[in-house]
A and B are shown apart, each in its own frame.
Chain A
Amino acid sequence: MFTLKIAFRFIFSKKSQSLLILIGFAIGIAVNIFVGSIIRGVESNLINTTIGASPHITITPIENQTYIEGWEDILNVINKNKDLKVVLPVLEERVFITNINPESPDDVIIRGMELDKGNEIYNYYDSDRFYGNPPNSINEVIIGKELAIDLEVNISDTITLQKNPNSEEQGTNLIISGIFDLGVSGLNSIWLLSEFNIANQILNTSSQINGIYIQVNDIFLADVIADEIELTLNNQNIMITNWKKENTQLLTALNAQEQSSSIIQFFVLMSVVIAIASVLSITVIQKSKQIGILKAMGLTNQMSARVFLFQGLLYSFFGTLLGLALGSILVELFNRYSNVPFQSTLHGDLIIITTIAAILFSVIASLIPAKNSSKMEIIDIIRNY
């Protein structure tokens, strides 16, 4: 396409002017990418600290029921959902440790579950924060850090658990195989984790559960997915809730933050787009002789408009490429050298949206200079040479 070649020549014929606008455009895009990434970083940091190591969707029995009836069928249905990352059936119940302080037994919560799967949600086996070994499924258990301190027990000590401390029945003896630290003392001082069958044994139940904890792939879709599950299960005996329902304030704050950054990004984008439009308007005047001569030789008005649309396209395309590179470098440098407690993350969708918006707006902005060039009359140019 010859008009594209003309556009290239016009750009290359004013090297420093073209370079300046290219750099200006790239800086705008880079700032855009950088701000967007920081905001995303702050956001995911906030979300992570709030809900990172916790379920996104929980299913529990309705109030007057103790267990989830027909949970195997429910799991079968849920497991077909492709949006879920972890599905964890859990049996948890208050029990008492009777052998440490026999006069006033300590109440704790035993949580029986497939521990390897549970670790995917709670991350208690994290090597920095876990001491000892994962428990076997015969007679071992792991307990929270604060609880271990309170009870003054250590790894390989034995604890006796009883559902009802006043009953005459024998408690169950378990050996502490490890101590975990979830970073939340409320949980560390009360939780006792074991394999599923051990909890069942202590609580005298036969394969019952009273909770299904779910993590989804896209946490922002948790509410949608929860609704979807509710609809497909259509079960009156269970309650489904999700993190969004319980963190509305956080979400409002995040929303406000996101909006203000969008506004900033929008105006940054607008200013570089306007810069392109104004440079092109100047170019139309700088190149008016050439346009007149080309038109005399048969260049049509549409072709001359295309020359300037292509220039807008070229500037924005290469400016965006350069800006993306620059932005990624900024993000990388920020992550490496700043000491804020979060990483800024460069997301694909941010890159795609920025690229499309930048190029689209630039081409739209080039319409004005393009129109001006198409309206130029040959005779006016030839006469005033």
Chain B
Amino acid sequence: MSNTIELLNITKDYGKSIPVKVLKDISIKFEKGSLNAIIGQSGSGKSTLLNIMGLLDKPTSGSIYLDGKKINDFNNKHQSRLRNENIGFIFQFHYLLPEWNVWENILMPLRIRKDNITDKMKDRAKMIMEAVGITDIAKEKIQEISGGQQQRTAIARALITNPKIILADEPTGNLDSINSDAVYNLIKSLNEEFNTTFIIITHDERLAKKTNRIIELEDGIIKSDTLL
């Protein structure tokens, strides 16, 4: 199986006079279509790693490859396009835009790419909404739907561009256990259905066990890497 994203000798330091090494020479590959969990203590560097992978943050040193291409040297504009076309994000907080309704939020990444929305795109949006179970709240305002629905909307938005990878930072951190399970089951089925690579940060070992692979970070290094 081929790899989608690959990190090579990634380090991240904070602070200038006394640098704090948050990531210490991390190298790791993710297989296409795999479902991965990253676990670890608070402060171990999980979010930092994920943000670097998603080109939201810059590593102090090291390289990031997407489909074999080194992407961390691309200019801003190029990186923006790359994120738009290849990477979907899901965060602990839904990060939906309150000025737009559910339907508009889901279509947002496509709009950013190209303003006119084709019928084909609309059909895809409807199909995804169906898959995540939010078909009947399309016209609702973001502030007026439940936390679980917000997170499902965020997942639908991440899926709309059919990205190669979806990066999720504690996607169920704000949900109760019933909703958390539902979201994980959803992710699992979406992973199987769309063959999208998922990399999910979680605190919850039980949820991590629903994936194919668990990577544990400790103090900026990979402590363990287990295939399930």
Contacts and interface: CB of A to CB of B under 8 A. Distances in A.
B97 interface: yes
A296 B89 contact: yes
Given A379-B51, A382-B91, A299 B112 contact: yes
A378 B80 CA distance: 11
B76 A300 contact: yes
Interface in B35-91: 51, 54, 56-57, 76-77, 80-81, 83-85, 89, 91
B201 to A, nearest CB: 13
B113 A298 contact: yes
B51, B80, B157 pick with most chain A CB within 10 angstroms? B80
Contacts of B194: none
A382 B83 contact: no
B99, B108, B113 pick with most chain A CB within 10 angstroms? B99
A13 B99 contact: yes
Nearest to B160: A297
A301 B76 CA distance: 8
Contacts of A296: 54, 56, 83, 89, 95
A381 to B, nearest CB: 9
Interface residues of A, number: 24
Nearest to B52: A379
B109 interface: yes
B115 A2 contact: yes
Given A303-B112, A379-B57, A382-B91, A298 B99 contact: no
Interface string B110-127: 011101000000000000
B93 interface: yes
Interface in A362-385: 378-379, 382, 385
Nearest to B92: A385
Given A290-B97, A385-B93, A297 B112 contact: yes
A117 interface: no
A75 B45 CA distance: 94
A298 B93 CA distance: 19
A383 to B, nearest CB: 8
Contacts of A244: none
Interface of A: 1-2, 5, 9-10, 12-13, 289-290, 293-303, 378-379, 382, 385
The 3 residue pairs across chains A and B that have the minimum distance between CB atoms: A298-B84, A379-B57, A2-B115
6 contacts: A10-B99, A13-B99, A297-B89, A299-B80, A300-B81, A379-B51
